[in-house]
Amino acid sequence: MIAELPAGFILIAAGLLLPLVPRAGKGALALAAPVLAFAQLLWIGPEYRLEAEAFGFTLELVRTDRLSLAFGYIFTIAAFLNAVYSWHQRDGAEQPAALVYAGSALAAVFAGDLLTLFVFWELSAVAAALVVWAGGRPRAYGAGMRYLTVQLTSGLLLAAGAALRYADTGSLAFDFIGLDTPAGALILLAFGIKCAFPFLHNWLQDAYPEASPTGTVVLSAFTTKLGIYALARGFPGTEALIWIGATMAAFPIFYAVIENDLRRVLAYSLNNQLGFMVVGIGLGTAMGLNGAIAHAFADILFKGLLFMSMGAVLLRTGTVNGTDLGGLYKSMPWTTGFCIVGAASISAFPLFSGFVTKSMIMTSTAQEGYQWVWLILLFASAGVFHHAGIKIPFFAFFAHDSGIRCKEAPVPMLIAMGITAALCIGIGCFPTMLYALLPLPVVYEPYTAAHVLAQLQLLVFSALAFSWLMRNGIYPPELRSVNLDFDWIFRGLGRRGVMGAEVVIYLGWHCASQWKEGLQDRIAGAARRYHAPGAIFARTWPSGSSALWMMIVLLALLIAGYLA
C-alpha cells in the first residue's frame, strides 16, 4: 500500500498529522516518516511510474530513474537527520512545516510533468516560509515574506514557461528543455531563482540566518538542491550555465570573508558550492553531471553539519557573531570536533566527502578545455577553505577567548552531528558507495598521487596565506556591520516603486473622485429640472460609495482589456 503512494506524500501526511499527535509521540512520528519514505524508494526502485488523470491532463505523479532516486535518497536522509537534530522541538509550527517542506521537495523531484512539478514547487515555498517564520523574531517575519515572494515568483515563471511549452509542443513532460524557445528561457529563470543565480541570490542570505537554530539546518537541504535537480533534468549541457556557475562559485567568497554572522557566512558558502554544481551541469559530460549530483549529495551533508554546529552554538550562547565568540572548544568539544569534520569536508581534504565529489567537476572542466573556468574554480576552492574551512571553526571555537562558558550541545543534536560527520568521512574514504548511486556510469579514481598532492598543496598554501594575512593585520577583521549586497538595489527600487505607485493611485483616485462628484451633481441638476428618475439615482448614490465606484472602474478596465 505504501509503495503505491506518490513519493513525498508520507512526509507531507506526517507533517499535517503532527499537530494532532500527543507531545510525547511527535518525535517518534518525525523520525518514522523519513524512514518509511526511504523504504518506499528502495521498494519501488528505478523505472517506476504512477499516473493520474486531472484537469484534462494525464499527470505523471511519480517517475523514478537513477537521477531522481539519487536526490530522493539524500532528501530522505536529510529529513531523518533534521528530525534527530530537532528532537527537542516539540511545539510550534516548525517541525510540521519542516516535514511538509521536505515531502514537497521530495515529491517535486519525482514529478514527471511540469504541472505536478509546479504544484510541489509552490508547496515547498510556502512550507519553507513557515520554517523561516518559526524563527519567531520580527526580522524572521520580514525575511520569510521576502523569501515567499521570491519563491512564488519562481513558481509563476515556471507556470508561464510550462504553458508556453505546452502550446508549442502539446506536452507537459519534464525532460530536457533547453534554451531554444521563450518557454525554455522562462523555465531556466525559474530554476535559476531556486538555485540562487547571481543577482537572484539574496533571498538565501536574507532568509536562512533568520530561522531558528534548527530551522536553518532544514532550509539548507532542500530548496537549492531541488533547483540543482531541475537544472540537471531540464538543461544539461547548456553552455551558459558554465559561466553562470563560475560566477556563482567566485563572488560569494568576498562577502563571506567580511561577514560577521557565521550562519550568513555559511549561506554565502552554500552559494559558492552551488556554483560548482551548476558548472558540472553546464558541461553536460558524464563526469560533469555525475560530479554535480555527487557534490549536491555531499553538500547537503557537510553544509548541514556546519549549520548544525552553528545552530548548537546559537542555542547555547545566543549568538553566532564572530566578534562575540571564541574559546568555545573548552565548553563544546564535541561540537568543535564535528564542525572541523564539516570544515574539512567542504574544503575537500583527502578522506573527506568534498574531495571525491568536487574533483570530478574540476577534472571534467579541465578535460573539456575550459581553462579559465578551471582557474576560477581553483580560486573558489582556495576561497572556500578560507571562509568555511578556517574562518568558521577558528572564530567560533578558537581565536580570542570570549570568556563564554556554556553547556555542550543537547544529546540529540550531538547524535545528529555524529551521524552526519560519519557519513562525510565514509563517503570520503569509500567513494564507490556514492558513485554507485549516480545516474551515469562512473569511470573516475579520485585517489591518484597527482590529485592528492595537488589538493594538499592548495590547502597548505591557502592555510599559509590565511596565517600570513592574520599575522600582518591584512585579513578582514570581524566587525559588527551590515554588508550591502545586490538586494540593496532591489529593495531600494522596490521601495521607490511602491511609493511611486501609491502616488499614481492616489492621484488617479483623486481625479476619479472629482469627476464622479461633478457627474453626480450634473445628474442631480438634470433630474431636478426635468423631474427624471435620475433624482432617485442621485439621492441613493452617497459620496462615500468608494467600493461601488472602484468596482465600476475595474469592470470598465476589464472590458477594455478584453476588447483590446
> What pLDDT score does 15 carry?
94
Give the Cα separation of 493 and 507 in Å (integer).
21
As a whole number, mean pLDDT of residues 241-264 equals 90
Residues forming beta bridges with residue 59, ordered by sequence position: 52
- Read off the pLDDT band of 305 (50, 70, 90): very high
- Read off the pLDDT band of 97 (50, 70, 90): very high
What is the Cα gyration radius of the chain? 27
What is the per-residue burial (b if ≥16 Cβ within 10 Å, else e) of 515-548?
ebeeeeeebbeebeeeeeebbeebeebeeeeeee
Q: Which of 28-42, 43-57, 356-370, 409-423 shows the lowest mean pLDDT across its residues?
A: 43-57
Q: In this model, does residue 173 exceed pLDDT 90?
A: yes
Residue 446 carries which DSSP code? S
Residue 321 carries which DSSP code? B
Extract the C-alpha cell encoding 87: 528532537
Q: In this model, does residue 537 exceed pLDDT 50?
A: no
> In the chain, pLDDT over 90 holds for what percent of residues?
62
Residues forming beta bridges with residue 63, ordered by sequence position: 49
> What pLDDT score does 545 carry?
44
> What pLDDT score does 388 carry?
86
> What pLDDT score does 510 carry?
64
Give the Cα separation of 429 and 125 in Å (integer).
36
Pick from 196, 164, 194: nearest CA to 180? 164
H-type alpha helices, 347-448 = 353-367, 371-384, 392-397, 411-429, 431-435
Residue 377 Cα distances to 74, 362, 382, angstroms: 25, 7, 9
* Tens digits of residue pLDDT in 349-391: 999 999 999 999 999 999 999 999 999 999 999 888 888 888 8
- Read off the pLDDT band of 563 (50, 70, 90): very low
- With the C-alpha atoms ordered 550, 551, 554, 560, is the resulting torsion angle positive or negative? negative
Q: Where are the beta strands (DSSP E) in 392-522?
A: none
Instruction: Name the residue with cell 462628484.
Output: 517
Q: Is 237 helix (H, G, I), strand (E, B) or coil?
A: coil
> What pLDDT score does 221 carry?
92
* Tens digits of residue pLDDT in 137-171: 888 998 999 999 999 999 999 999 999 999 999 99
> What pLDDT score does 402 carry?
80
Instruction: Name the residue with cell 564542525.
Output: 339
* Tens digits of residue pLDDT in 488-536: 666 666 566 656 666 677 677 667 666 656 655 655 565 555 444 444 4
Q: In this model, does residue 178 exceed pLDDT 50?
A: yes
Q: Are strands 49-54 and 57-63 parallel, antiparallel or unpaired?
A: antiparallel
As a whole number, mean pLDDT of residues 12-16 equals 94
